Amino acid sequence: MITTLIADQLFDGKTLHVNRPISIEDGKIIAFDTIKGATEKKVRGLLTAGFIDTQVNGGGGYLLNQDTNLHTLKAMSTAHAKFGSSSLLPTLITSNVQKIAQTADLISNAIAQHTPGIIGIHFEGPHISEPKKGIHSGEQIRSLSQQELDIYCRDDLGIKIVTLAPENVSCEIIKTLVAHNVHVCLGHSNATFEQAQAALAAGATGFTHLFNAMSALESRAPNMVGAALLDEHSWCGLILDGHHVHPSSAKLAYRAKAAHKMMLVTDSMSTIGSEQSQFHFDGHDINLIGDKLTSNSGQLAGSALNMITAVNNATQMLAIPLTDALNMASLYPAEFLGIADTRGQLSIGANADLTLLSTTNSSPRVVNTWIGGKALF
């Protein structure tokens, strides 16, 4: 069956169109026109590509680290779809090797079952820096073992990200990871500028939550933040919740970084899409106060950010057009992951992963999300 949606506006990743039809069949975009015999539906608002979140720890009341099962993945996907995300990389925070192996098996099973919204896995740690561990368990920080390398190099996990500290992982291991289709991100690191540059030369292509848990830019020592902003070929994730990064610092970074290389991430925990206001994680009591998640010691503990809020924050904090902010949540992460031919923009042959936004006020909200051509609500 062919379905044609006709929205007030359609943003395809390059151009904003008015009353442009989009036709869908078997989960794919087949035309930007009406087709004889198709079921036509007029929708009010702005239709754009579904958002892609490369760093998402939980949602719907569940955390991947604590409830490592298919129900959690489905709850996360459903929760984040309400805020426009159609593709997630569920993120495992620093854990023991048994949990890493269990999570890898879970993701493999989820992808084999075509679980909506789940496109791979992000292993954030445990090969990170003790001084920059943040909320991560210091007891679990360690060198990258052969057993872990074998897990990361599996070819049944979909899209793979590993966040690591380059001062603790050799360039040879980074090259091995990259050769096995792992997107290596640098983060939770106290690396020098030279160490970060060496990791980039070895094939690292991303920086995990820019500014947070990484060596800061200084006048005589550019460190990791300096390497991230200076490099023209890598991508930076940015948590725009107003707590992780000062808006002016975010604006400065956006202007300094090469075009199309800054992407939005949520780093969200279990509270998204739920009534949860507190939970326990790895020895910490985490509380949601307003829109901020902190431990009892006042330390940031992930975020309570959803992607449409990140998009709206980007337009305000970075002073950029909505279309640019939408690309930061869709096209740019798709380009980072190497999947822009199927996700992140609306083009013929791409997956029909769509988000419909209400544009009746200055801060758009999500009206509906489609994954593979199926409306979720």
80-97 per-position pLDDT tens digit: 999 999 999 999 999 999
Cα separation, 366 vs 354, whole angstroms: 11
Cα–Cα distance, 133 to 144 (Å, whole number): 16
Residue with tokens 């890598």: 234
pLDDT at 114: 97
**φ/ψ of residue 320, rounded to 5:** -125, 160
Q: Closest Cα to residue 308, out of 372, 361, 244, 247?
A: 361
Tokens of 343: 């996700």
Q: Mark whether 200 and 79 lie in a shared domain.
A: yes
Compute the chain's Rg from CA coordinates. Answer: 20
Task: Specify whether 91 is located in the same domain as 12.
Answer: no
If one counts the domains in the chain, the total is 2
pLDDT tens string 220-259: 999 999 999 999 999 999 999 999 999 999 999 999 999 9
If asked whether residues 72 and 133 sit together in one domain, one would say yes
Phi, psi of 219 (to 5 degrees): -60, -40
Per the document, the length of the chain is: 377
Average pLDDT, the chain: 97
CA distance 150 to 130: 24
Residue 200 shares a structural domain with residue 311 = yes
User: Where do the H-state alpha helices sit in the chain?
Assistant: 70-81, 97-112, 146-152, 171-179, 193-202, 223-230, 247-256, 307-317, 322-329, 331-337
Answer whether residue 361 shows pLDDT above 90. no
Q: How many CB atoms sit inside 10 A of residue 251's CB?
A: 16
Do 57 and 179 belong to one domain?
yes
Which pLDDT score, from 0 to 100, does residue 171 have? 98
pLDDT of residue 30: 98
Beta-strand pair 292-295/284-289: antiparallel
Kindly report the CATH number assigned to the domain that includes residue 7.
2.30.40.10
Report helix, strand or coil for 79: helix
Please indicate, yes or no, whether residues 55 and 44 belong to a single structural domain of this protein: no
pLDDT band at 282 (very low <50, low <70, confident <90, very high): confident
Distance CA 30, CA 112 (A): 25
pLDDT digits (tens, 9 = 90+) for 8-30: 999 999 999 999 999 999 999 99
- Considering the domain architecture, whether residues 148 and 264 belong to the same structural domain is answered as yes
Q: Are residues 21 and 95 in the same domain?
A: no
CATH of residue 255's domain is 3.20.20.140
Q: Residue 135 pLDDT > 90, yes or no? A: no
- Do both 18 and 151 map to the same domain? no
Q: Tell whether the model's pLDDT for residue 359 goes beyond 90.
A: no
Residue whose C-alpha is closest to residue 117's, from 153, 75, 154, 156 = 75
- Domain co-membership, 34 together with 66: no
Q: Are 235 and 334 in contact (CB under 8 A)?
A: no
- Under the banding of pLDDT at 50, 70 and 90, the label for residue 153 is very high
- Eight-state DSSP code of residue 68: -
Domain interval for residue 24:
2-48+346-375
Does the structure show a pLDDT above 90 at 200?
Answer: yes
pLDDT given at position 362: 84
**Residue 267 annotated in active site:** yes
Do 51 and 84 touch, CB atoms closer than 8 A? Answer: yes
Handedness of CA 345, 183, 131, 100 (dihedral sign): positive
Please check whether residues 243 and 149 belong to one and the same domain.
yes
Q: Which of 12, 53, 241, 267 is catalytic?
A: 267
User: pLDDT, tens digit, for every residue of 290-339?
Assistant: 999 998 888 898 999 999 999 999 999 999 999 999 999 999 999 999 99
Q: In terms of domains, do 16 and 121 share one?
A: no
The whole-angstrom separation of Cα 125 and Cα 315 is 31
Determine what percent of the chain is predicted with pLDDT higher than 90. 94
CA–CA distance, 161 with 203 (Å, rounded to integer):
13
